[in-house]
Amino acid sequence: MGSKQSQKVLVVDDEESILELLKYNLEKQGYEVKTALDGFKGVETAKKFQPDLILLDIMMPKQDGVETCRQIREVPELSNAFIIFLTARSEEYSEIAAFDVGADDYITKPIKPRALMSRISALFRRDSKKKAVTNQISLGGLMIDRSSYTIKMDEKEITLPKKEFELLYFLAQNPNKVFGRDELLQNIWGSDVYVLARTVDVHIRKVREKIGDDYIKTVKGVGYKFSLN
C-alpha cells in the first residue's frame, strides 16, 4: 500500500455519530474515507471504492458484520483489504466468528479515536515491511509468490485471504520447523493485535480446505509445521 494520502478507508456502522467521528479522525490523518450505514451498502461501496482498510461494525440491522465480512472476502479484488471489526460485544464466540470470516483485528467499543488511529498505522506499517520481501517459494508443486500474493498448485491458481496467505508463506519459509500457536500469532498478527490462540487453528483449517492436508502438519501438543514428508 502506498502513502497515507493514497490509502482508502471504508467505515460501515449503523450509528451515524460513530461514522462522523471516525470519518473526521481518519480524514484528519490524511486517509480517503467513505461510509455506509448497513452491511448491504457496505459490500456495494467496498466493490466500487476498493478500500485498503474496512472498519466494520458487527451488530447491524438487515445484515450483520460477520456476513458482510464473509461477502467482502469472496470478492477477489478485496481479498487483501484489511478488515477491523468494531463492536460493543466482547464474548469469545463473537471474536472467533470475526476471525473465522477473515478479520485482521477486533476492537471493542467505546472507540478511542487516538488508539484506533495508532492501531491502523501499525497495521499499514507492518504490511509495508512485509511487502518489501518479494521472493518466491516453490515446494512440492506449490508456488507461493509474496510479491503478488498469489499461489499456484500444479499450475492452478488459488486465492487466499491475506492472513491465510501470510500464515502459509511463513510456515513454508521454514519447512519442517514446528511453530506453536503463540509464535504464529506473534509473527502473523503481531504483538499489537490481541487475538485468541484458536484463531490460528481456524486459519490453518481454512488453508487446508484450499490446498489440501499434505503441506501443513499438526504436531500434537506443540503446533504446526510445513512438511512434504
C-alpha cell at 221: 501438543
For residue 140, with 0-12 CB atoms within 10 Å meaning exposed, 13-18 middle and 19 or more buried, which class applies?
Answer: middle
- What average pLDDT does the segment 174-185 reach? 89
When the pLDDT of each residue in the chain is averaged and rounded to a whole number, the result is 85
Confidence at 168, pLDDT banded by 50, 70, 90: very high
CATH of domain 133-226: 1.10.10.10
Determine the average pLDDT of the residues in 62-72: 90
Question: Is 207 a residue whose pLDDT tops 50?
Answer: yes
Using CA atoms, how far apart are residues 84 and 79, in angstroms rounded to an integer? 14
pLDDT bracket for residue 2 (50, 70, 90): very low
pLDDT of amino acid 132 = 53
Tens digit of pLDDT for each residue in 5-21? 578 999 999 999 999 99
Of 117 and 127, the structure prediction assigns the larger pLDDT to 117
Q: Give the dihedral of Cα atoms 73, 142, 186, 184; nearest 10 deg.
A: 100
Percent of the chain with pLDDT over 70: 88
Q: How far apart are alpha carbons 103 and 161 in whole angstroms?
A: 10
* Domain locations along the chain: 4-130, 133-226
pLDDT at 62 over 90: no
Residue 126 has pLDDT above 80, yes or no: no
Amino acid at position 16, single letter: E
- Of the pLDDT bands very low, low, confident and very high (cuts 50, 70, 90), residue 37 is very high
Q: For the whole prediction, is pTM greater than 0.85?
A: no
Q: Mean pLDDT check: name the lowest of 79-83, 86-90, 138-142.
A: 86-90
Return the higher-pLDDT residue of 190 and 29.
Answer: 29
Domain 4-130: what homologous superfamily? Response regulator (3.40.50.2300)
Q: Cell 507461493 belongs to which residue?
A: 144
The DSSP result for 35-103, as a single string, is EESSHHHHHHHHHHH--SEEEEESS-SSS-HHHHHHHHHTSGGGTT-EEEEEES---HHHHHHHHHTT-
Contact 184, 191 (CB under 8 A): no
Domains 4-130 and 133-226 are alike in CATH topology: no
Residue that wins the pLDDT comparison between 132 and 161? 161
pLDDT surpasses 90 at 188 = no
Q: Is the pLDDT of residue 161 over 80?
A: yes
pLDDT (mean) for 90-102? 69
Q: Residue 3: its pLDDT value, please?
A: 45
pLDDT of 129 higher than 80: no
Q: Is 56 exposed, middle or buried (0-12, 13-18, 19+ CB in 10 A)?
A: buried
Which of residues 209 and 77 earns the better pLDDT score? 209
